[in-house]
Amino acid sequence: MSDRGSGGQAAAIAGPSHIRDTAKIPFIIIFLLPAFVFLAVFLYYPIAETFRISTTKSTGIGQELYVGLGNYLSLIQNEEFLAGLWHVFMWAFWSILIQLPIAFLIAFSLTFYVNKFTKPLRSIFYLSNVLPTAIVAMIGRFMFAPKTGIIASISKALGWKWLGAIDFMGNPDMAFWTLFAIATWMYTGFPIIFLMARIEQIPKEVREAAELDGATGWRYAFSIVLPQLSYPFRIIMVLMTTGSLKLFDLPYILLTGGPGNATVTLGITLYRDGFINWNYGRAAAIGVVIFVLSLGLTIAQFSLGNKKEAK
């Protein structure tokens, strides 16, 4: 083996190594083929189809009728769709405003105070993130259900009538925030571990120098660590925004978008239009809206960040 190896090396030095690379092109094609077959069938073709169907009136049976922008026009007059759009933006807004700062404070504290109690916490904070949404909905219902839920039964045991009187899921003004609290419980682990990975990359010397300069604790967190996090912050903001646009499982399983339209999202309107009312055309139009918004907002958030950095 070693003999052949050195002989081969000599040959390689003697002549250019791409001599026998006639096999290269078919090899590349064969290796890329499986991935592209999957994407072509289940992604590229359906994407094109979605655009086409969104301009038709179609129920799956019978003829499709070309209606141009008719579906989109009907959407902007549709109360449920507008409610979904509003909730999706509120969801993204509050995620960025509430979950992101919480995540930063936890991530910073976990990396700043490393001791035997805080070390295992990173894994614990991320645990709720890997639970299936159906389980989280189950746990959520189990906590917040009126009369029989854990919170209701704790408030009964403690005699706290005010707490027992709150209708967490039936009150339309409350339902959004109950969902948001459950989502915060479920999803904040991701920004925590994401930010921690970046904070841990800051060299130890930086912290030592900061302490010599008297920048300890919160001063260190806000004036030295925070500015280093603009890239992960941008990624997380993009993920929170696109995640809100796609939001479906949690509000649907827990409250099916209700009470009324109180927790309807774009994902839920798409599902209802497409697979309950069998209005394919309008469901496809909602799909296009979700796609265009997530693409547009992703590009916007990245280019805004870049401009700021260029200054």
Partner 1 sequence: MSQAENAAIVRRGRRSIRIRHGLPEVIITVFLLSLALVIILPMIIPFMFVFKTQMEYNYHPWALPKALNWINFREAWKAVRIDQGLMNTVLVSFGAIATTVPPAALAGYIFARYRSKATEIAFYAILIGYFVPAQMVLVPLYKMEVAFRIKDTLVGLFLPMAAFGIPFWVLIYRSFFATLPQELSEAARIDGAGHTFTFFKVMLPLANPATALALLLVFIGAWSDYLLSLILLSSSKNFTMQLRVTSFLYAYGPDRMPKYAAAAVIAMLPTVILYIIGHKYIIQGTVAGAVKE
Cβ neighbourhood burial of 217 (10 Å; 0-12, 13-18, 19+): exposed
Q: How far is the CB of 73 from partner 1 (least distance, A)?
A: 19
Interaction of residue 9 with partner 1, rule CB under 8 A? yes
Q: Which of 166, 298, 302, 305 binds partner 1 (CB under 8 A)?
A: 298
- Chain CA centroid to CA 294, Å: 11
Name which of 164 and 189 has its Cβ closer to partner 1.
Answer: 189
Peptide bond into 259 cis (omega under 30): yes
Interaction of residue 1 with partner 1, rule CB under 8 A? yes
Q: φ, ψ for residue 56 (rounded to 5)?
A: -125, 160
Give the whole-angstrom CA distance, residue 82 versus residue 170. Answer: 21
Give the whole-angstrom CA distance, residue 30 versus residue 24. Answer: 10
Q: Which of 72, 89, 248, 302 binds partner 1 (CB under 8 A)?
A: 248
The interface with partner 1 within residues 36-95 (CB under 8 A) comprises 36, 38-39, 41-43, 45-47, 49-50, 53, 60
The half-sphere exposure of 167 on its side-chain side, counting CA atoms within 13 A, is: 5
List CB contacts of 57: < 8 A, sequence separation 6 or more: 64, 65, 67, 70, 71, 281
List CB contacts of 170: < 8 A, sequence separation 6 or more: 146, 259
Interaction of residue 235 with partner 1, rule CB under 8 A? yes
Among the residue ranges 68-76, 160-168, 171-179, 294-302, the one whose residues contact partner 1 (CB under 8 A):
294-302
The interface with partner 1 within residues 171-210 (CB under 8 A) comprises 185, 189-190, 193-198, 201, 208
DSSP state of 213: T
Q: How far is the CB of 177 from partner 1 (least distance, A)?
A: 17
Beta bridge partners of 82: none
List CB contacts of 234: < 8 A, sequence separation 6 or more: 301, 302, 305
Interaction of residue 271 with partner 1, rule CB under 8 A? yes
The interface with partner 1 within residues 139-168 (CB under 8 A) comprises 139, 141-143, 145, 147-150, 153, 157
The interface with partner 1 within residues 214-233 (CB under 8 A) comprises 216-217, 231-232
Name which of 164 and 232 has its Cβ closer to partner 1.
Answer: 232
Give the whole-angstrom CA distance, residue 60 versus residue 55. Answer: 14
Give the whole-angstrom CA distance, residue 99 versus residue 192. Answer: 10
CB 80 within 8 A of CB 261: yes
The interface with partner 1 within residues 105-134 (CB under 8 A) comprises 106, 109-110, 113, 115, 117-118, 121-128, 130-134
Beta bridge partners of 56: 66
Q: How far is the CB of 99 from partner 1 (least distance, A)?
A: 13
Interaction of residue 28 with partner 1, rule CB under 8 A? yes
Name which of 98 and 253 has its Cβ closer to partner 1.
Answer: 253
Among the residue ranges 77-85, 89-97, 160-168, 263-271, the one whose residues contact partner 1 (CB under 8 A):
263-271
Q: Which of 138, 174, 215, 224 binds partner 1 (CB under 8 A)?
A: 138
Q: How far is the CB of 185 from partner 1 (least distance, A)?
A: 7
Q: How far is the CB of 9 from partner 1 (least distance, A)?
A: 5
Name which of 153 and 223 has its Cβ closer to partner 1.
Answer: 153
Interaction of residue 246 with partner 1, rule CB under 8 A? yes
